[in-house]
Amino acid sequence: MTFGVFMHRDGSTYDDIPESHYQFPKSYLSRAERMVGDWIVYREPVKLPQSKGFFAVAKVERIVPDPDVADRYRALIEPGSYLPFSPTVPHKVDGQPVERDLANAQAAVRPLSNSDFARIIALGLPEDDTLPRVGEIEPLDRVREGQVPFEIERPIVQSLVNRPFRDRAFRRAVLHAYDGRCAVTGWKLVNGGGRLEAEAAHIRPVEHGGPDSVRNGLALSGTAHWMFDRGLIGLADDLKIIVSRQVNDPASVTAMVNPSGKALVPKRESARPHPAFLGWHRAHCFKH
């Protein structure tokens, strides 16, 4: 088994859904098979305008022939393993490439050394027990080399499946994507210590198969989060905020919704709520 890199860009001709599967041609099959049971990092191409670099980590469960396209395969991602980086990891830090072993730099599927994997994880998933404060949700422009471990032991990888660690990483990624602002109310409230009031909500809960993906997340104030989890509010596919008829004070709830009547979501398409997760919430949580 080995760590690896999967190159991905939104809108490509390949049928990739990073949270669930990665499609690749037969020429990469032998490489991908070495990664089964191990972790990969997703990376956007360097030449892509405004490339976000390395943006997530996930574990490869198995490889299967693609059911729709001949001579293509799918790397199936282990459910619950996908975790977005926040901040995303740039291709270079202080002028040096983050991925140092560039023997196969142009390959869409390639192995990744232990030290490169450790460096990327340390940059993308900083070990921080505190929750984000105002000013802490901006991307990190520079990370000093001394902060990054160069070797990784297998026990350290266990943090990637640790629920508290994942919850912190998910909240950091969602609040960064939404700039700490509640998608329903539009409020960006902070306490006297600069602590953001917004919470990170899963659209499809983890216990029901939802991934720790920004596309499966919303930044919500405490009250909006409570109502969303109980199905008193929901989102249409066009992001219109819908209020359940079971709400006992609909006028107050409607007054709380931002003037647009729609969820305020990130500009980047890949960070917006995915219709599949919104549909699941309407079908299984929203009180019609």
- One-letter amino acid identity for 42? Y
Query: How confident is the model over 2-26, as a mean pLDDT?
Result: 93
Query: How confident is the model over 247-256, as a mean pLDDT?
Result: 94
pLDDT digits (tens, 9 = 90+) for 46-56: 887 778 899 99
The tokens describing 190, both together, are 């902070």
Nearest to 178 by CA among 198, 194, 193: 198
pLDDT digits (tens, 9 = 90+) for 260-280: 999 999 998 889 999 999 999
Per-residue pLDDT for 131 more than 70?
no
Q: Contact at 8 Å (CB) between 169 and 125? A: yes
Per-residue pLDDT for 134 more than 50?
no
Residue 151: predicted pLDDT: 46
CB burial class (10 A; 0-12, 13-18, 19+) of residue 3?
buried
Residue 270: predicted pLDDT: 86
CA 218: distance to chain centroid?
Answer: 11
Q: What are phi and psi of 41, to 5 degrees?
A: -115, 140
Task: Name the band, by pLDDT with cuts 50, 70 and 90, for residue 1.
Answer: low
Residue 90: predicted pLDDT: 94
pTM as predicted: 0.85
- Strands 96-97 and 92-93, bridge-based pairing: antiparallel
Domains observed in the chain:
1-173 (3.10.590), 178-288 (no CATH)
Per-residue pLDDT for 43 more than 70?
yes
Instruction: Tell me the pLDDT of the chain averaged across its residues.
Output: 88
pLDDT digits (tens, 9 = 90+) for 176-197: 999 999 999 999 988 777 788 9
Query: How confident is the model over 149-174, as a mean pLDDT?
Result: 78
Query: How confident is the model over 130-136, as a mean pLDDT?
Result: 47
Residue 46: predicted pLDDT: 86
Q: How many residues does the chain have?
A: 288
